[in-house]
């Protein structure tokens, strides 16, 4: 096999329901670009999804859906390793070992754990607390150099780094200490109804986010009702978070720069601008949605992708887990 000197980049996403325009612009689009420069390993983190209550049939459907979207958006399973976390048992097993060097205090003070304990107060389970350790296992099994992380996952990457350093120190050099990958092109997309807040699919107001599954009319309607700012100039500025967000979106889906877009809409009313953004987003998403619809019907193809991906992932993860088991003193199975 030819030598691959590229750095390894690992990322994962939970199959927890619909994807938003924010996920697309902030993550999916970048995953595609990264494939050329790094040895990319991408997982569907379905074990993580179990930490909040799921309807089994829906979880299964979401997993296929997510994979279909990613492939439709240009993630090429021939150019990266794309797999389902639960297909590679090493993730759960390394979590067990790392649990023995993790302290409850460091997990209970995680911001996301505290937030989720509040929003899922009827189901504060050990998995929810252990979530960052499973995530550390995902990353460390593949000796990832880089992990693209949004602000909300930064603390979790810190734990992964701490655990790698702790393990290496207690036994011997085993894990690569991962670095955050700060994307140059990843824009943060804000809510259409409150541009101070991140666009989120769990927003109680469905007009605040665009689902990748929204049809053309819905997309345009949501953009028409997007909250704008005082004044009337279409210009990106700190005191114009609504217009700035719309300009960012427009720029991402058209490939034009924000400055070009500002020129294009000079002298136009907010209403005309919002309509144009809606149409541009709908135009951009249309072919992707067609492709996704085609892929999702082909379960055999998706199962094949998963099986291929799991085989490749397992080769790497299996070696790492054996090494870890050996270092901590477990006897290898001989027959
Ligand atoms: N926790 C991440 C999220 O919800 C998903 C995830 C799971 C992940 N394992 C990972 C991200 C490993 C990066 C690396 O966004």
Q: What's the pLDDT score for residue 185?
A: 60
Q: What's the pLDDT score for residue 184?
A: 67
Q: What's the pLDDT score for residue 3?
A: 73
Q: How distant, in Å, are the alpha carbons of 201, 203, 219 from that of 222?
A: 14, 14, 5
Q: What's the pLDDT score for residue 1?
A: 53
Residues 203/209, Cβ–Cβ less than 8 Å: yes
Is residue 198 annotated as a catalytic residue, yes or no?
Answer: yes
Is residue 116 annotated as a catalytic residue, yes or no?
Answer: yes
Is residue 323 annotated as a catalytic residue, yes or no?
Answer: no
Backbone angles phi and psi of 281, in degrees to 5:
-65, -45
**Three-state DSSP class for residue 261:** helix
List, in sequence order, every beta strand (DSSP E) within the chain: 8-13, 39-44, 81-84, 146-148, 179-181
Centre of ligand 1 from the C-alpha of residue 135, in Å: 6
Centre of ligand 1 from the C-alpha of residue 291, in Å: 25
Q: What's the pLDDT score for residue 191?
A: 97
Centre of ligand 1 from the C-alpha of residue 313, in Å: 16
**Best probe residue, ligand 1, of 8, 42, 45 (max atoms within 8 Å of C-beta):** 45
Q: Is the CB of 139 under 6 A from ligand 1?
A: yes
Residue ranges of the chain with pLDDT lower than 70? 1-2, 184-186
**Best probe residue, ligand 1, of 138, 148, 178, 188 (max atoms within 8 Å of C-beta):** 138
Residues 77/41, Cβ–Cβ less than 8 Å: no
Q: Is the CB of 159 under 6 A from ligand 1?
A: no
**Best probe residue, ligand 1, of 10, 13, 160 (max atoms within 8 Å of C-beta):** 13
**Three-state DSSP class for residue 174:** coil
What does the alpha-carbon distance between residue 262 and residue 282 come to, in Å, rounded to a whole number? Answer: 20
**Three-state DSSP class for residue 13:** strand
What are the chain's domains? 8-186+299-328 (3.40.50.620), 206-293 (1.10.240.10)
Taking the CA atoms of residue 251, residue 255, residue 258 and residue 261 in that order, the dihedral angle to the nearest 10 degrees is -90
């Amino acid at each position: 096999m030819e030598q691959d000197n590229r750095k390894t980049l690992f990322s994962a996403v939970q199959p927890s329901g619909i994807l938003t325009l924010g996920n697309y612009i902030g993550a999916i689009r970048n995953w595609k670009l990264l494939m050329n420069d790094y040895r990319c390993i991408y997982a569907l983190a379905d074990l993580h999804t179990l930490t909040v209550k799921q309807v089994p049939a829906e979880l299964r459907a979401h997993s296929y859906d997510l994979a279909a979207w990613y492939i439709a958006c240009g993630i090429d399973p021939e150019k990266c390793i794309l797999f389902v976390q639960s297909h590679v048992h090493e993730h759960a097993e390394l979590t067990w070992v790392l649990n023995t060097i993790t302290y409850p205090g460091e997990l209970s003070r995680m911001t996301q754990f505290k937030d989720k304990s509040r929003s899922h107060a009827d189901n504060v389970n050990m998995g929810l607390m252990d979530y960052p350790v499973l995530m550390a296992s995902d990353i460390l099994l593949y000796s990832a150099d880089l992990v693209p992380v949004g602000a909300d996952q930064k603390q979790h990457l810190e734990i992964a780094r701490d655990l790698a350093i702790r393990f290496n120190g207690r036994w011997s050099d085993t894990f690569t200490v991962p670095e955050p990958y700060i994307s140059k092109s990843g824009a943060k997309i804000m809510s259409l109804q409150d541009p101070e807040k991140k666009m989120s699919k769990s927003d109680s107001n469905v007009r605040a986010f665009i689902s990748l599954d929204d049809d053309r009319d819905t997309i345009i309607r949501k953009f028409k009702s997007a909250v704008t700012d005082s004044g009337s100039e279409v210009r990106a500025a700190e005191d114009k978070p609504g217009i700035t967000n719309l300009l960012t979106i427009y720029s991402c889906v058209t490939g034009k720069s924000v400055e070009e877009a500002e020129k294009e809409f000079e002298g136009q009313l907010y209403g005309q601008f919002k309509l144009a953004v809606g149409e541009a987003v709908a135009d951009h998403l249309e072919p992707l949605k067609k492709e996704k619809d085609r892929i999702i019907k082909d379960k055999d193809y998706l199962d094949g992708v998963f099986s291929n991906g799991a085989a490749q992932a397992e080769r790497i993860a299996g070696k790492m887990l054996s090494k870890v088991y050996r270092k901590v003193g477990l006897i290898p199975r001989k027959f």
